[in-house]
Structure 1
Amino acid sequence: MRIGLLKESDSESRVAFLPEVVASLIKRKVSVLVETGAGESALASDAAYEEAGASIAQRSEVIKQADFLIGIQAPDDKLVASLSQEKIWLSQYNPLWNIELVKSFQSKGLTTFSMDAIPRSTRGQAMDVLSSQATVAGYKAVLEAALKLPSFFPMFMTAAGTIRPATVLVLGAGVAGLQAIAIARKLGAQVQAFDVRSAVKEEVMSLGAKFIEVEGAQEDSAAGGYAVEQSEDFKQKQQQAINEHAAKANVVICTAQIPGRKAPLLLPKEAVAKMKPGSVIIDLAASTGGNCELSKDNETVVEYGVSIIGQSNYPSQMPIDASKMFGKNILNFLELLFNEEGEFSLNFDDAIVKGTCITHQGEIVNERVRSIIQP
């Protein structure tokens, strides 16, 4: 079996795996073909991949010769059209959102895997790209907020007087939110966090933040640790609480998302209008509609004196460590697909393999994706 590593588009600085992963794959008797310049933006040269045991080729040759193609982002229409039926595709392509792409894979009879469909389980943690990349996003979000904020994060006691610490409000206490809390606290800010899942309260408080509680939240153990859609009555209570805390905050970090759905609206423009001039909002959910009504993906806008930064791909701004983490996740997953002789083996009795496989032989394998496309 030959794995092909493709170069991402100009807007993506990461690479799906670094040379260190190549060495591990070679040991498992899997050959690796790398597109010229695939790792350059992550500071991994073609020579480094060759030293690890990979071969370097132009994009067309990688697509033609490799049996198993790997990337980070979803493939464009041109790439999908070039894939023959026997090819296997793996990336992070958000199948619950990119329905037309899934249909294209299905119609071509391709076997495809999406790393963001890894089941949330103890065993799946080592392969969970959403968690590893969210760690980067939460870290970078706070650093950018600190740079954009026209005041200090920590408290200072000086001869010129006392500077009060900034107040940071984090919406959503998943991996990105918890990382944002930790970094904001390290920078000396006072931090408050909101999440509909009561189970995260202890984690939030252990990081030194105040947990904002709103009674009446619905929780679903089958949601894999994600938040679920809430009742209208709860949404009204939630909105009032968030509005009150946002008005007092200097920074709001938005991280709340629901897989397969538009991001929940948590900061309407009326709430932004009541925030302090000079405040900063970082919206990590901008690519799926945003938690802030005024967010625009990949743009910074200023409304009511508040800077609103819509940024859904902070990991691309830290390509070395983000690629290292992503690649380790992929390697751990590939170990489920290849035996010791380097032969591909698709075992649907393995819950992780079956959950991550989206299409195979003209069928939609993932049950959740199938329920959306074929209700």
Structure 2
Amino acid sequence: MPIIGFPVETKPGEKRCALLPANVKAYTLLGASVLIEKGIGEPLHISDDDYVQAGAQVADNRDVLLKKSDIVLALHKLPSSELRSLKAGALLVSYLDPFNESAYIQQLCDADLSSISMEMIPRISRCQKMDALSSQASLAGYVMVMQAANALETVLPMMMTPAGTLKPAKVFIIGAGVAGLQAIATAKRLGASVTAFDTRSVVAEQVRSLGAKFLDIDLGQTGETGQGYAQALSSEQMQIQQREQAKCIADSDIVITTAQLFGRKPPVLIDQKTIASMRPGSVIVDMAAENGGNVVGSVSGETVQIHDVNVIGTGFWANGVAKHASQMYASNVFNLISEFWDKASNQFALDVEDEVLSACVISHQGQVVHKMINDFYQQHGVPMHAKATQMTAEA
């Protein structure tokens, strides 16, 4: 019987995990044995006994779990020092950030480990139930609005009181992807006046359907990738965007930036001059602060004051609602495993020709097998010892 292992997340401050007791039975019904590391649910106030009663076993220690597991499911990638503890040929599933972690991917190849990068799950209808990037981004959009509201010195909704009328807060959201749309919906529910902008004009109707205004900026030819991400703008287009949105930013109480480019540094959208134009006590939330930032001066993991404006770059957004984030991520990884579980052989069938797996499997049989990642390494002069096999992938 294959063993699926679930280790405790080691990233400081992380409360989420890849398994809840409710998921254990589903794995055992597939024909797998579930092995957890002691304390995996402790940050969520879930005891080991809850997992055991659901049908899981508890490993004596982390090293035992890694050595016994045929498949390891986690949120963040395992520390490099632990990769050699895994069985040769074992499958590791987690966020891997393969564009920026080439040395780690090489270690996976050297250890003969197969790996699936959860952020590479393609955005096609078949994969919606596995799309962890979207599920966590949706929660991030909610959390960012709540953090901004907590930092603001005024209320969000309009209030008519005996002491006078309080005007609704003005919220401007840059980027109407999954996180941005959830931020729009949340801010509207809280009674704010919301305006949003996205380089993809096709999302304007989605913004309006949520009750927000769409800021029209003529940037010329723009579009999105096959995965639904916004394409990078030219330097001239970036200047136009910054200039046209500056007036809206200056008039806003809260600005939330969600612009991120997959595998690349996020664009700078707000400069110091624009921040200085905002009213004292206003709030900016920079979703991309951990990866370089959309806002000049934002600090990853911190809230800082710039020209009397609170700039929130704390990151780790979905971790702010860790129980629901864990519920969604655990469901995403189970749906991935069950989609490719072969009942006849009672194991995960890693079919490298499948349109989904070809887009998210990074290493297999000692090689980098993801064509797009391998091409990226070659274009940027990243040395990889193993020659990649040819696999198709969604661009």
Per the normalisation by structure 2, the TM-score is 0.92
Aligned residue number for residue 127 of structure 2: 124
Q: Which moved more, 1:299-308 or 1:343-352?
A: 343-352
Matched position secondary structure for 2:341: coil
CA distance in 1, matches of 2:111, 2:221: 40
Q: Please report how far the alpha carbon of residue 217 of structure 1 lies from its aligned counterpart in structure 2 after TM superposition.
A: 4.6
CA contact (8 A) 1:39 1:45 kept: yes
1:107-256 superposed matches below 5 A? 107-256=110-259
CA contact (8 A) 1:43 1:320 kept: no
Partner deviation per Cα, 1:124-168 (whole Å, 9 max, x = no partner): 111000111111111111111111100111111222222111100
CA distance in 1, matches of 2:134, 2:43: 22
CA contact (8 A) 1:18 1:323 kept: yes
CA contact (8 A) 1:22 1:54 kept: yes
**Of 276, 280, 283, which residue of structure 2 is paired with 1:277?**
280
Amino acid at match of 1:27: L
Partner deviation per Cα, 1:84-131 (whole Å, 9 max, x = no partner): 432211101221222222222223331001111000111111100011
**Of 71, 75, 78, which residue of structure 2 is paired with 1:72?**
75
Amino acid at match of 1:367: K
Aligned residue number for residue 18 of structure 2: 16
Partner deviation per Cα, 1:50-93 (whole Å, 9 max, x = no partner): 11111101111101111111110122222234334322111012
Please, which runs of 5 or more residues in structure 1 have no aligned partner?
none
Matched position secondary structure for 1:335: helix
Q: Which moved more, 1:24-33 or 1:229-238?
A: 229-238
| Shift in CA distance, 26/358, structure 1 to aligned 2, threshold 3 Å | same
CA distance in 1, matches of 2:102, 2:290: 15
Does 1:307 pair with 2:313?
no
Aligned residue number for residue 7 of structure 2: 6
Amino acid at match of 1:206: S
1:281-296 superposed matches below 5 A? 281-296=284-299
CA distance in 1, matches of 2:220, 2:200: 7
Aligned residue number for residue 42 of structure 1: 44
CA distance in 2, matches of 1:222, 1:304: 36
| Shift in CA distance, 132/59, structure 1 to aligned 2, threshold 3 Å | same
Amino acid at match of 1:164: K
CA contact (8 A) 1:191 1:210 kept: yes
| Shift in CA distance, 218/229, structure 1 to aligned 2, threshold 3 Å | farther
Matched position secondary structure for 1:281: strand
**Of 349, 353, 356, which residue of structure 2 is paired with 1:352?**
356
Amino acid at match of 1:112: S
Matched position secondary structure for 1:165: coil
Matched position secondary structure for 1:264: coil
Amino acid at match of 1:12: E
Q: Please report how far the alpha carbon of residue 354 of structure 1 lies from its aligned counterpart in structure 2 after TM superposition.
A: 1.5
Amino acid at match of 2:356: I
Partner deviation per Cα, 1:266-320 (whole Å, 9 max, x = no partner): 1111211111100011111111111111111111101100011103212112111
Aligned length: 375
**Of 92, 95, 104, which residue of structure 2 is paired with 1:92?**
95
Does 1:362 pair with 2:366?
yes
Q: Please report how far the alpha carbon of residue 343 of structure 1 lies from its aligned counterpart in structure 2 after TM superposition.
A: 1.5
Q: Which moved more, 1:361-370 or 1:132-141?
A: 361-370
Amino acid at match of 1:362: G
Which 4+ residue blocks in structure 1 deviate beyond 6 angstroms? Answer: none
Does 1:259 pair with 2:225?
no
**Of 80, 85, 92, which residue of structure 2 is paired with 1:82?**
85
Matched position secondary structure for 1:169: strand
Q: Please report how far the alpha carbon of residue 221 of structure 1 lies from its aligned counterpart in structure 2 after TM superposition.
A: 5.0
Q: Which moved more, 1:80-89 or 1:209-218?
A: 80-89
CA contact (8 A) 1:112 1:359 kept: yes
CA distance in 2, matches of 1:216, 1:301: 31
CA distance in 1, matches of 2:376, 2:309: 38
CA distance in 1, matches of 2:314, 2:155: 22
CA distance in 2, matches of 1:274, 1:106: 51
CA contact (8 A) 1:138 1:179 kept: yes
Does 1:334 pair with 2:301?
no
Amino acid at match of 1:358: I
Q: Which moved more, 1:357-366 or 1:26-35?
A: 357-366
CA contact (8 A) 1:337 1:345 kept: yes
Aligned residue number for residue 54 of structure 2: 52
Q: Please report how far the alpha carbon of residue 254 of structure 1 lies from its aligned counterpart in structure 2 after TM superposition.
A: 1.2
Amino acid at match of 1:190: S
Q: Please report how far the alpha carbon of residue 340 of structure 1 lies from its aligned counterpart in structure 2 after TM superposition.
A: 1.7
CA contact (8 A) 1:257 1:264 kept: yes
Matched position secondary structure for 1:374: helix
